[in-house]
Structure 1
Amino acid sequence: MSFSLVPDRIFDDYAAVTPTLLRDLGVTLLLSDLDFTLAAKATRHPDRALKDYIAALRDAGIGFMIVSNNRSGERVTEFCAELGVPYQGRAGKPSPRGVFAAIDRAECTPAHTAMLGDKLLTDCLAAKRAGILALTVEPVGGAVTAWQKVLHALQAPFKAVCRRRMRKKRA
């Protein structure tokens, strides 16, 4: 069980995490955070681009489930229903228990699972602790509140390490 805050890969947004890339990485199940990862927190309904993305994952045979710490299930339930995807609520990230529960529900294994999220202290750490691939995106809508700005500043050095490692792999 790793306690690293350095993601395995970092992307500008979820659309950059293509089905082809996931297949190349051996991923057959993509778990994802919702708020600031797939949509801004205030967004009540998925847009066409996200619906198309989920359809492309399905077409590629990649399972998808939202894993959320959201305490109020109403918005997440509605959002996931419109996407036609299951979700694991009250995940307790950075604890890996919600991640493991989602993997079990999907009848998959950690070796073939990745977690997509925007926060290193919750999404990335939960993925690392669960022994799955940690994929990070820049937050949808960026940092808005003072706390989010502080959090982004604290995450910057870990993201920089990830970017350096990714450049070395490409070289």
Structure 2
Amino acid sequence: MSLSLVPDVIFDCCRQITPAFLAERGVTLLLSDLDYTLAPMSARHPDEAVKAWIQSLQEAGITFMIVSNNRSGRRVTDFCSQLGVPYQGHARKPSPAGLRAAMARAGADAAHTAMLGDKLLTDVLAAHRAEVLSLMVEPAGGAVTLWQKVLHALQAPFKALCREDRREKH
């Protein structure tokens, strides 16, 4: 079990993660955070681009499940029902327990699983502790609050050490 905060791969947004990219790495289960990973926290509904992206993953045989620390089960339940995907709630990330429970539900093992998120201290650390591929995205909607801006600034040195940066260079 690794306690590393360095993500394996960084993207600008979730839609840059293609079925081919996941297949190349043997991933058959993609776990994902919800808030600021798939949509800003203020979004009550998934947009059409996220729906189409998840559908493309599923059509390629990749199982998709949301793993959330969100304490409001209603938002996650509503969001997931609109996407037609299951979720593992109260995941307690960075504990690996929620990721392992999701893998068990999906019948997948760590070698064929990736975790997608926007935060090092929860999503990436949980991925490493569960020994799955850690994928990171820039926060959907951007860092809005002062706390988010500070948190994302503190993540910069760890993101700079990432093995594979797939963000578009402007």
TM range (shorter): over 0.9
Residue type of the partner of 2:135?
L
Structure 2 partner of 1:90? 90
Structure 2 partner of 1:76? 76
2:164 maps to 1:166: yes
Correspondences of 1:11-160 after superposition (within 5 Å): 11-160=11-160
Query: 2: CA distance between counterparts of 1:125 and 1:153?
Result: 17
Gaps of 5+ in 2: 166-170
Measured after TM superposition, the shift of residue 166 of structure 1 is 2.3
- Give the secondary structure class of the aligned counterpart of 1:65: strand
Which of the two has greater helix per residue?
1
Residue type of the partner of 2:78?
E
Runs of 4+ more than 2 Å apart: none
Residue type of the partner of 1:107?
G
- Give the secondary structure class of the aligned counterpart of 1:135: strand
Residue type of the partner of 2:93?
K
Query: 2: CA distance between counterparts of 1:57 and 1:166?
Result: 21
Root-mean-square deviation (Å): 0.7
Query: 2: CA distance between counterparts of 1:90 and 1:40?
Result: 19
Residue type of the partner of 2:104?
D
Measured after TM superposition, the shift of residue 64 of structure 1 is 0.3
Question: Alignment length, in residue pairs?
Answer: 165
TM-score, normalised to structure 1, is 0.95
1:20-66 deviation per Cα after TM superposition (whole angstroms, max 9, x unaligned): 10000110000000000000001011111111011101110000000
Structure 1 partner of 2:168? none
Query: 1: CA distance between counterparts of 2:144 and 2:54?
Result: 27
Query: 2: CA distance between counterparts of 1:121 and 1:166?
Result: 19
Gaps of 5+ in 1: none
